Amino acid sequence: MASAAALSAPVPRTTGGCVERCARLDNGLRLIVRENPQATTVAATAALALSQAEEPPAGHGLRELLQMCILASAPADPQKGIVLDAATEPDYIVFSARGSDRHGLHVVSALLRLFGPRDFGSDLITAQQSLLRRFAEAQQEIAAAVASRAGLAALYPDAANLLKPAAAYRPVAASTLSAFWRQALRPNRLAVAVSGPVSMEDVRRALEDVAGAWVPGPDIGPPPSGRRAHPQGIVRLRIGSEESAVWVGVRGPKPDDEDYPVAIVGMMALAHGMGSRLFRRLRDELGVTYAVSGRVVASRSWPHMYVAATCEAADTPRVSGEIQKELQRMAREDLSPKELERARNMAVLNLEQVRMSNWQAVHYLSTLALLNPSIMSDGRTWAIVEDVKTVDAGQVKEFFARWWDRPSVVQVIGRGEE
């Protein structure tokens, strides 16, 4: 077990009314604790660096199956009302627990119990495979989901494996899943974040009891970005649902890239909220879309940015064209002072809402510690809030000219065209 001296000295920082401390065990496990004495809940997350590139060639979807089996076999503790959850992203799996302030350390313990040794039974694996298969097939009937996955595959061809994950359809031996878990579970792959009325000292002791003796594995390098995609014009797909969708996207900056804050502000101006350019154009002026949104996806495997809109099947060509016109205008014209102020304010508001929530803050902090490890040493866990405030119109215009010059376009056509 590691001693208290084996942890880096946690330097307290006040963020959003909380005292935030970062530390690191000798075995590489990263810990962020937000001491939030006024909170009535405790939230804890553990992000495990395990990228899609580490799945075996014939086992795409194995990470998601692993996550589902771990969660399904977690020991229950209904008396304390602790809620466990998990999600699989291209770079990592994030496990989470939350409960009331009366059970602060029990929440942390419930989260850490997920990381014990596991021998997965064949019945458990079969049941979770069935759920994974049903989820994958349900996604194929949702226009926006089909467009998003097809668009990502257009940018990163390896992402095509998401459309029909092999682990949902082929037999998976219990020994295979257990070996994959043992290989992945290394302390230097984990970033734990806890927020609520708890202390760094108490959380640290709980962590040492469970993970202090874990042995680290090889240093984690960034996963490969996959094969380069070649522009193929507009991809058109047909599905059986009534709704249609348009997706336009490009590869994006990573969270430690200097362009990342500019990407966020630019997306706010282009496609976030009722005051954005695309909402005003497509919804208010032309009335050709039900909804339009934009997102910058933080990742080290498949970083990307996209705009998505749902519409009538007959309107997909027009919606695609209008989105591309607005992208060209963003690269050609400065945002007005009013547009820029709105975009920066929206970016700050969204980030502050994350920081104010125990639940959202720990998700942000644990995953950011994996995607941008420098935040653990330089104290810039919330630097993005200040960074977006300084983005100017010239940076936004230049950003769109460089990053959005050759976007991929996906049109998903539903039965509404018939």
- Which percentage of the chain shows pLDDT scores above 70? 91
CB atoms within 10 A of CB 220: 17
Express each pLDDT in 303-326 by its tens digit: 999 999 999 999 999 999 999 999
What is the model's pLDDT at position 4? 35
- Which percentage of the chain shows pLDDT scores above 90? 72
Express each pLDDT in 286-298 by its tens digit: 999 989 999 999 9
> Under a CB-based contact definition with an 8 Å cutoff, are residues 149 and 163 in contact?
yes
81 vs 58: CA distance, rounded Å: 39
Per-residue pLDDT averaged across 267-280, rounded?
95
Distances (CA, A) of 70 to 61, 94, 168, 239: 14, 12, 16, 33
Per-residue pLDDT averaged across 109-127, rounded?
90
Conformation bin of residue 87: beta by default, left when phi > 0, alpha when psi is -120 to 50: beta
Predicted TM-score (pTM) of this structure: 0.89
For residues 93 and 221, which has the higher predicted lDDT (pLDDT)? Answer: 93
Distances (CA, A) of 56 to 62, 335, 382: 8, 46, 36
43 vs 415: CA distance, rounded Å: 43
Number of H helices and E strands in the chain, helices first, is 14, 12
Express each pLDDT in 68-116 by its tens digit: 999 999 876 666 789 999 999 999 999 999 999 888 889 999 999 999 8
- Residue 98's DSSP bridge partners are 43, 83
> Under a CB-based contact definition with an 8 Å cutoff, are residues 335 and 269 in contact?
yes
52 vs 301: CA distance, rounded Å: 8
Express each pLDDT in 319-378 by its tens digit: 999 999 999 999 999 999 999 999 999 999 999 999 999 999 999 999 999 998 887 776
